[in-house]
Structure 1
Amino acid sequence: MFRNSYDSDNTTFSPQGKLHQVEYALEAVKQGSAAIGMRSKTHAILLTLKRSTGELATYQKKMITIDDHVGIAIAGLTSDARVLSNSMRQQAMQSRMLYGRPIPVARLVQTIADKAQNNTQIYGRRPYGVGFLVIGHDETGPHLFEFSPAGTAFEYYAHSIGARSQSAKTYLEQNYEAFEDASLEELVRHGLNALADTLQQDKNLTKRNTSIGIIGPSTEAVDRAEEGKVSGAAQRGYFRVIENDDVEPILRSWRRSRGEPEDEPEAEGEGETQQQGGDAAQPQDDVEMA
């Protein structure tokens, strides 16, 4: 790789107006496997492609529960994700202890963005090499945010990060108008379509490499809320992760809607290993990427 005097200092701008260390951190996010987020009027969902570090390793978890009403999907360095997610949990716990209520999703995301931005302007520190998709549900409804190592946080109707995420973005951009009024089942189906677009040609979505995170009320709670019989946490629902055997019925229904065989594909097409990084540079040494 070509290097210059600005590569090792994250507090000095290059003549082109760039902070190279921040840009390298953004590249680390692209080395992680794909993560997709979407939201409708009632729900927000995450879909991730789990990655295995080798033939003998289990698939890495891509989703982390922050609070009952907030969950995240990660792409990048798992060690950095652990540090930042613990900080988010502390903020959520502090809100419940001091104010007796769940922390607003936007405030939580902005807090962690400020923490990451601080590392981009202090000499001797490096930017965090991980990106998040954050979903949550509060008094203002469901939310989807993207957090990046640059310390930015933006809200989206739908978004994707990680390896080959541009293919998923293309699908989301072409279909996003249908998301707002979509049912939970339709939203998940669109998400699986987008996630499948990030796969290599010889890979498939299976129960081992696919995770789905959902925040929002159950169908029964939605009906009861319309009748004025449910309020508070029951309307918001709880963040829950569906994976392994629990995700198989959803994948079967999705394959059926696409006219494909419902049975799970053969094992050799299940997912990707850590060394298959897609459109970004390959992970180096034993750094754990998700």
Structure 2
Amino acid sequence: MFRNQYDNDVTVWSPQGRIHQIEYAMEAVKQGSTTVGLKSKTHAVLVALKRAQSEIVVHQKKILHVDNHIGISIAGLTADARLLSKTQIPTQRYGWRPYGAGLLIAGYGDMGPYIFQTCPSFNYFDCRAMSIGACSQSARTYLERHMSEFMECNLNDLVKHGLRALRETLPAGQDLTTKNVSIGTAGKDLEFMIYDDDDVSPFLEGLEERPQRKAQPAQPADEPAEKADEPMEH
């Protein structure tokens, strides 16, 4: 995206009917590390991927505590999200810069567990399961495929589903570890808890190994290509 005369203020519309500052904030969310939220009848779970700029830098926290029953996970600009978790009035002023952070909010209330997604475009959605951030479409595909299983899951199984969905966003050869994963849980008679580092180990130990994608062998140049109407070997 390039700067132009219509992106100096959040109240200025372009001739195409777009608000560029909101689009910039939405793009920041798409570039952020992936986070997954899902719920059952009794619990709500957040699973987030933590990034570090280098091996000598500590991984940034991606799940934040709001109160005893609510927590948020972040995709986008971490500094903006930290401000959102502490202040309310600035988020209600339409003339301010849109915060470049997307949030998944998990908690437990009178109506049971819940997952909400909030966007820099001022929209929010009540979700059964959701993923935001970079490569989040791969996680959403997993969530959609297993949606019918979530409601009857206990806490441990629900966390495993979240980890599997998050793992789908990783490149080949990389897997989830205690250093790059953070987990948040809430439920009935259960305060919002955040699991980091060694506390994540029990959940990862019960997770099956990531299946390896087998590369198709290259076809020799002197052999004719398979016909379109013939089934390919697997």
TM-score norm. by structure 1 comes to 0.69
> In the alignment, what sits opposite 1:148?
119
Superposed CA deviations along residues 44-73 of structure 1, whole A, max 9, x for unmatched, are 000000111222101111111110000010
The one-letter code sitting in structure 2 at the alignment partner of 1:26 is: M
Mapped pair 1:245 → 2:198: yes
Larger-Rg structure: 2
**How many angstroms does 1:115 deviate by?**
5.1
- Against the structure 1 CA distance between its residues 156 and 250, is the aligned structure 2 distance closer, same or farther, given a 3 Å change threshold? same
> In the alignment, what sits opposite 2:61?
61
> In the alignment, what sits opposite 2:83?
83
Task: Give the 5 Å matches for 1:1-290.
Answer: 1-87=1-87, 116=91, 118-119=93-94, 122=95, 125-217=96-188, 234=189, 237-255=190-208
SS in 1 for 2:146: helix
The one-letter code sitting in structure 1 at the alignment partner of 2:91 is: A
Instruction: State the distance in 2 between where 1:198 and 1:116 align.
Output: 30
Instruction: State the distance in 1 between where 2:152 and 2:3 align.
Output: 49
**How many angstroms does 1:131 deviate by?**
1.1
TM-score norm. by structure 2 comes to 0.85
Instruction: State the distance in 1 between where 2:114 and 2:187 align.
Output: 10
Superposed CA deviations along residues 180-210 of structure 1, whole A, max 9, x for unmatched, are 1222222111111100011122311001111
SS in 1 for 2:195: strand
> In the alignment, what sits opposite 1:263?
none
Any stretches of 5+ residues in structure 2 without a counterpart?
Answer: 213-234
> In the alignment, what sits opposite 1:283?
none
Any stretches of 5+ residues in structure 1 without a counterpart?
Answer: 88-111, 218-233, 261-290
Instruction: State the distance in 2 between where 1:52 and 1:4 align.
Output: 32
> In the alignment, what sits opposite 1:98?
none
> As a proportion of its length, which structure holds more strand?
2
Provide the aligned C-alpha RMSD in A: 1.8
**How many angstroms does 1:9 deviate by?**
2.8
Instruction: State the distance in 1 between where 2:122 and 2:90 align.
Output: 7
Off by >2 Å, runs of 4+ in structure 1: 1-5, 114-119
- Against the structure 1 CA distance between its residues 49 and 59, is the aligned structure 2 distance closer, same or farther, given a 3 Å change threshold? same
